[in-house]
Amino acid sequence: MKLKLARTGIKSKPKTIELEKIEEMLPQKSIFYFDRENSHKDLKALIEYFEEKGYSIYMREVKYGLNEDEYIYEVHIIQ
């Protein structure tokens, strides 16, 4: 499954990442930021994928502006 990482600029497009790549990065990094364009279904699948592997997951919405569509998802994946 592919997920979109948070944008790095206002007009930039989000980069995509595979679940397997996220799992490879876990020893160095445990917090990931995902774009608002990800579906709720895909984010739930991400949580279930890592919970089945024994990880603890925490996800929240982070607002960075006043408009309703100015938010990203912050996901903590901890062993």
Query: Is residue 11 predicted with pLDDT exceeding 90?
Result: no
Which of 34, 2, 43, 7 is CA-nearest to residue 19? 2
Return the pLDDT at 69. Answer: 87
Query: Is residue 10 predicted with pLDDT exceeding 90?
Result: no
Contacts of 64 (CB under 8 A, 6+ apart): 70, 71, 72
User: How many structural domains does the chain have?
Assistant: 1
Q: Tokens 């309703």 appear where?
A: 68
pLDDT tens-digit series, residues 12-69: 999 999 999 999 999 999 999 999 999 999 999 999 999 999 999 999 999 988 989 8
Q: What is the pTM of this model?
A: 0.90
Angle (CA) 14 77 1, round 5°: 45
Return the pLDDT at 47. Answer: 96
Range(s) of the domain holding residue 50: 2-78
Return the pLDDT at 79. Answer: 86
CB 16 within 8 A of CB 2: yes
